[in-house]
Amino acid sequence: MSPPQETAVPKPQHAFRSRCSIARTLEIVGDKWTLLLVRDLMWHEKHTFQELQESEENMPANLLSQRLKRLMEWGVIRREPYQERPLRYRYFLTEKGKKLEPALLHLMSWGHTQLGGGLYDPVRKISKTGVATRKSRPASASRGRKKNPARTLPMRGSKK
């Protein structure tokens, strides 16, 4: 008897407006809110609807619900129930969602260098599994050090 095989989640039927990879990606994650949602799941340890809604940007509940649904349909996030009555979920990035990290790091770096800094700066953190990951920290944690606007951020897996 062969082992049970996982069934692939069907991708949403979607007619992209363009053949361009950038345009296609922006159709999924290119609005004002989606990458902030991914940021909170990835670095800010926010996983419940309420935690995500309490982010500094104050995403409206209806938009948060729509974005979570769309990201689940595209396999960028998954959810797990944590309470039965009423039914509530925790949300997590999938491997596909975690692959957005380099794009977020580059956007953050661009914002720091081109828009005069910001509240968060990426730093390396060793996860419980022993894997080096990125973690955000308040900019106040780097006080006393000179800022180098030309600094480039090493990506995971790079040699530096």
* pTM greater than 0.75: no
CATH code for the part of the protein at 17-97: 1.10.10.10
Query: Domain locations in the chain?
Result: 17-97, 100-155
74 in Cβ contact with 13 (< 8 Å): no
| Average pLDDT of the residues in 139-156 | 41
pLDDT (tens digit, 9 = 90+) per residue, 47-89? Answer: 999 999 999 999 999 999 999 999 999 999 999 999 999 999 9
pLDDT (tens digit, 9 = 90+) per residue, 11-31? Answer: 557 788 899 999 999 999 999
| Average pLDDT of the residues in 116-120 | 72
Burial of 27 (0-12, 13-18, 19+ CB in 10 A): middle
Considering only residues 64 and 131, tell me which one the structure prediction assigns the higher pLDDT.
64
Phi, psi dihedrals of residue 79, rounded to the nearest 5°: -130, 155
Q: Over the chain, what is the mean pLDDT?
A: 77
State whether residue 59 is helix, strand or coil: coil
Helix (H) or strand (E) holding 40: helix 34-43
d(C-alpha 45, C-alpha 6), whole Å: 28
138 — pLDDT class (breaks 50, 70, 90): very low
101 — pLDDT class (breaks 50, 70, 90): very high
- Return the pLDDT at 87: 94
d(C-alpha 140, C-alpha 112), whole Å: 14
